[in-house]
Amino acid sequence: MKELKPEDTSRAVGYSYFIDAPQPTVTLFKTMDITPLMRFARRGERLNAMLCYTAGRAALQVPEFRLRVERRRLYELEPPYAVSFVSPTRTGGVAICAVPVDGDYAAFRQQYTERGAAAYEDASALSYAEEVVLGTSAMVGTVLDGIVNLYSEAFCNPFLCWGRYEKHLFRTVLKVSFQFHHTQMDGAHACRFLEAWQKEISLFRS
């Protein structure tokens, strides 16, 4: 990561407003229409992989995702950019896997599968240098109305959470929670990302 001077960036005002906030994160809730992805899921594609990929591609369209705030310092991430997902392990724990989203879906799917399998067998073997522009976590044990995640400087990149999808008569929807550090971006940037994600889902091709 490259350290930036906040006063020399577009986040100068946001940084001054929110860097001292005791709880600097904001959470937005949105219902996504994932009907286009379900068509591919019925053919054998992994829904979570498609969700991670499309969300990562949408994040790259908003420059603020390449910023990160750690210990009151502002940084700019450098490529390759990645999205992370939470994988179960053989011992009953979880591991965080990072997968680059700069390439096409076929490359992403292969690495998603390989890294998930590696994490399951031996989470300690994971060591990836990709810069994570977006973290994700899927809790598919139940349908969730929303999640307000904790704030931790160990995981200060923007974060998406979702539960189990819901089927309706003509469409399938997924309720998601999007959390971001307010020093990094404003609500307008978050809304732009969520709209871009819906478009990526609608235009997805495996």
Cα–Cα distance, 84 to 132 (Å, whole number): 6
> Backbone dihedral region of 154: left (phi > 0), alpha (psi from -120 to 50 degrees) or beta?
alpha
For every residue of the chain, DSSP letters joined together read -EEE-GGGSTTHHHHHHHTT-SS-EEEEEEEEE-HHHHHHHTTT--HHHHHHHHHHHHHTTSGGGGEEEETTEEEE--SSEEEEEEEE-TTS-EEEEEEE-SS-HHHHHHHHHHHHHHHHH-GGG-----EEEEEEEE-TTS--S---PPP-GGG-S-EEEE---EE-SS-EEEEEEEEEETTT--HHHHHHHHHHHHHHHHT---
Q: What is the pTM of this model?
A: 0.94
Name the CATH superfamily for 24-202: Chloramphenicol acetyltransferase-like domain (3.30.559.10)
pLDDT for position 149: 81
Ramachandran angles phi, psi of 94, nearest 5°: -135, 155
Cα–Cα distance, 173 to 201 (Å, whole number): 12
State yes or no: pLDDT of 48 exceeds 90: yes
pLDDT digits (tens, 9 = 90+) for 75-104: 999 999 999 999 999 988 888 999 999 899
Q: What is the mean pLDDT of residues 145-170?
A: 88
Domain residue ranges in the chain: 24-202
